[in-house]
Amino acid sequence: MAGSTGNFHKIGDLAAHVGGTVLGDAGRLIDRCHGLMGAAPTDITFVSNVKYMRQLATTDAGCVVVGRQVNQASIGRQEKPPLTFIQTDDPYFAFRQIVVLMHGFRRHAAVGISPLAHIASSARLGKNVNIHPFAYVGENVIVGDGCNIYSGVTIMDDAVLGAECILYPSCTIYEQCVLGNRVILHAGVVIGSDGYGFATHKGVHHKIPQIGNVILEDDVEIGGNSVVERAAMETTRIGMGTKLGNGVVIGHNCHIGQHNLLVSQVGIAGSTSTGHHVVLAGQVGVAGHLHIGNMVTAAAQTGIAGDILEKQVVWGTPSIEIHQAKRVFAQLAHLPELVKRVRALEAQLEKLKPGGDHAEPGG
């Protein structure tokens, strides 16, 4: 949890920074961003999800960033002093802007090139690069300006990093893979390991050389221990601005579109493609050789076994339209009783058949 910044900001100034409107004391001083619960009188917080609205009645926060529809009359505080709000069109993004202003991003020490790192003589390093002890940079590697490479990172031969990339400890970049500008790889990420390719002949699985590579476009961020497999013969590509959570696996030959959000533990089999602004929630599984259209959303634990047209919202295994899925799952709790009723009806039908228990003698 972030501590006090020691740098106070007036609520009115914060509102101006995000284009918001102050309801309350614009001169009140704020020095920290904090979650809604446990916030102190010098903290600023936010509400963007309606299910947290009731907590506005009890929070001690000094200021809350909210949507335009929220006001004092809508929250019913009875035993607490009135809240000060910053009303915005997009409270989540506005709060993000305030966090950046007040706390900034993680700072990287200017360590330069550690003598304990291995840098191949043919590697080309840009300006203001920081490489920590025990990192490995192979032959003909290109590292762009302003990159930060932490301990235990391995960059194999002929790989390319754009400017201002951040590779956290123990990342591995296999040979010939390409990272764009401002790519962030969290600890343990593997880029360009062999795709899962085997030819089965007479009961034996024979490895197929994976001779392609991986390209991560600008502003891709990948969470810890995720894996992006190299293509069998061409390129596995992750589109510009796409974000992967922890423990995500992208199979060989996949083309993931721009500005996708793939949440933790998503798995996508080989040769599948997605359009732009696709959202796959936690533990979504996607079969191979499929296409997921632009702006599709799949709810958590969805199993996708066929192509999905653009702008669909799906859930379930196999995936179906989410409103239909909700109706289906709502009935699952009644399934045992429905089975009993069906069996009882079947028994009654048997009695109504000729020669059944109800039949009159000689009838």
Catalytically annotated residue among 252, 259, 276, 277: 252
The CATH number that applies at residue 260 is 2.160.10.10
Whether residue 111 lies inside any domain: the answer is: no
Task: For residues 34 and 131, state if they share a domain.
Answer: no
Write down which residue in 57, 76, 103 finishes a domain. Answer: 103
The CATH number that applies at residue 61 is 3.40.1390.10
Task: For residues 48 and 143, state if they share a domain.
Answer: no
Range of the domain at 360: 333-363
- What residues does 22 pair with on adjacent strands? 86
Angle (nearest 5°) at CA 130 between 129 and 134: 130
CB contact at 8 A, 49 and 59: no
Helix, strand, or coil (residue 360): coil
Number of domains in the chain: 3
Whether residue 24 lies inside any domain: the answer is: yes
Task: For residues 178 and 315, state if they share a domain.
Answer: yes
Task: For residues 265 and 141, state if they share a domain.
Answer: yes
- How many angstroms separate the CA atoms of 21 and 16, rounded? 8
Whether residue 346 lies inside any domain: the answer is: yes
Whether residue 223 lies inside any domain: the answer is: yes
Whether residue 108 lies inside any domain: the answer is: no
Is 252 designated active site? yes
* Nearest in space to 278 (alpha carbons), one of 253, 295, 298, 302: 295
- How many angstroms separate the CA atoms of 237 and 218, rounded? 11
- How many angstroms separate the CA atoms of 97 and 91, rounded? 10
Whether residue 61 lies inside any domain: the answer is: yes
- Per-residue pLDDT of the chain (363 residues), as tens digits, is 566 667 899 999 999 999 999 999 999 999 999 999 889 999 999 999 888 888 888 899 999 999 998 877 667 666 778 889 999 999 999 999 999 999 999 999 999 999 999 999 999 999 999 999 999 999 999 999 999 999 999 999 999 999 999 999 999 999 999 999 999 999 999 999 999 999 999 999 999 999 999 999 999 999 999 999 999 999 999 999 999 999 999 999 999 999 999 999 999 999 999 999 999 999 999 999 999 999 999 999 999 999 999 999 999 999 999 999 999 989 988 999 999 999 999 999 988 888 766 555 554
Whether residue 113 lies inside any domain: the answer is: no
CB contact at 8 A, 149 and 164: no
